[in-house]
Structure 1
């Protein structure tokens, strides 16, 4: 059974926390439905929570956050140091949204505000390459998203896995050690709608309505979650 450390990098809005708890709990629910057995430990790094010294996991997952991956908050600096040490030790690292961007920055890439503004609702991506652990196979996938930052330059040695016109770097990997996605596999439609409603004024009515209209299209969060666990499983002995 895989052991996954979930590094939770946000505290949900008060209007949503009662129903959805946190991104760590959302990932636990999602991963529990996948065919790869795993156990999870959640640490909220915004609150300064980390695994005890000496505790080792098969993979470390960095969640999404309302914070900027290029921010200078003390907790972000601490997280950068923790992740760099894990990377140098050869640990497998998974990143989603904020985590996707933070790991790219940490390992030599770049990110910044998206030229096209906010990405919200369900976005569709094409696969740039297919790897053995990507089963069931697909030509592309859809994910629920909520971001205004993107990876603009991949770290040296990183391979692009998925892209779209809106988000050219939607997923990447670095060897058998790092796997990241811009979209949120853990999001469910209800949570995405809640975020959209809370930020409606900031998005503007045209973008809000467009995003709401995509929520009934379905998405592939479960498939991406399965791929993530199969990536960890496939690389355990490598």
Structure 2
């Protein structure tokens, strides 16, 4: 039976990118469509106040990336935090990427803030540790496309780090078999990453922009991380 995944969108794409990429929810649908585990998806844009109907149930809830700060005071972020805490306390499985990764860490007792390291963009490499049963296919190191200026600076007490680097020490973590989060963007493709960097070129600065654009010659493990996420959702604690 296919997995039922609710994608909680926390942003809308810039107008000039909508025709080609549609939405973050659609990017995740395209990512997961390439995985061996069958699933179907419902997308709700929570930034616009759209939530699942009361009583509707899913195998997991995925919180996407966003231009917003996870530690921001926007009313929609406060509403989302209450909703996610309710899901967590009910025992639902939660997935987070970038903003979602940071928001869940913050919500569950960690800390997220503007990173002293500055912007991270382009291809980034991470060390892997604490291998779990759902991390298959196995990798020695992880490579992902990134786009963030905020980071998790303290993990929730019961979280386990699974990917790290000097630039981003808490790049991926899980909390038992319930929460799995990544700072990087498995749903991104090179062209979308380049489009974002072009838009932000002035704020990134010439040196960082040039390095990040050059890094795009490398491949990344987004598809494998997508499979890990689906395996994590399907994984049952024995």
- Normalised to the residue count of structure 1, the TM-score between the two structures is 0.98
Q: How much has 1:128 moved relative to structure 2?
A: 1.6
How many equivalent pairs are there? 237
List per-residue Cα deviations over 1:149-203 (Å, max 9, x = no partner). Answer: 0000000111111100100000000111000000000000110000000000110
Q: Aligned-pair RMSD on alpha carbons?
A: 0.8
Q: Which residue of 1 aligns with 2:71?
A: 70
Partners of 1:115 and 1:145 in 2: how far apart?
16
Give structure 1 stretches of 5+ with no counterpart: none
Q: What secondary structure is seen at the aligned counterpart in 1 of 2:30? A: helix
Matches of residues 24-103 of structure 1 in structure 2 within 5 Å?
A: 24-103=25-104
- Deviation, 1:51, is 0.4
Any idea what SS the aligned residue of 1:68 has? Answer: coil
Q: Distance in 1 between matches of 2:17 and 2:174?
A: 32
Distance in structure 2 (CA, Å) of the matches to 1:84 and 1:113 = 23
3-state SS of 1:151 partner: strand
Q: Per-residue displacement from partner, 1:20-70 (whole Å, max 9, x unpaired)?
A: 011000000110010000000000011110000000000000000000000
After superposition, the C-alpha distances for 1:64-106 in whole angstroms (9 at most, x for unaligned) are: 0000000011110110011000000000000000000000000
Give the drift of 1:18: 1.4
Secondary structure of the equivalent of 1:50? coil
Q: Can you give the 5+ residue segments of structure 2 that lack an aligned partner in the other structure?
A: none
Moved over 3 A (4+): none
Residue in 2 that maps onto 1:19: 20
Please name the residue that 1:127 is paired with.
128
Write the distance in 2 (CA, Å) between the matches of 1:195 and 1:17.
12
TM-superposed CA distance for 1:219, in Å, is 0.4
> Alpha-carbon deviations, 1:107-149, whole Å to 9, x = none?
0000111111000000000102111111111111100000000
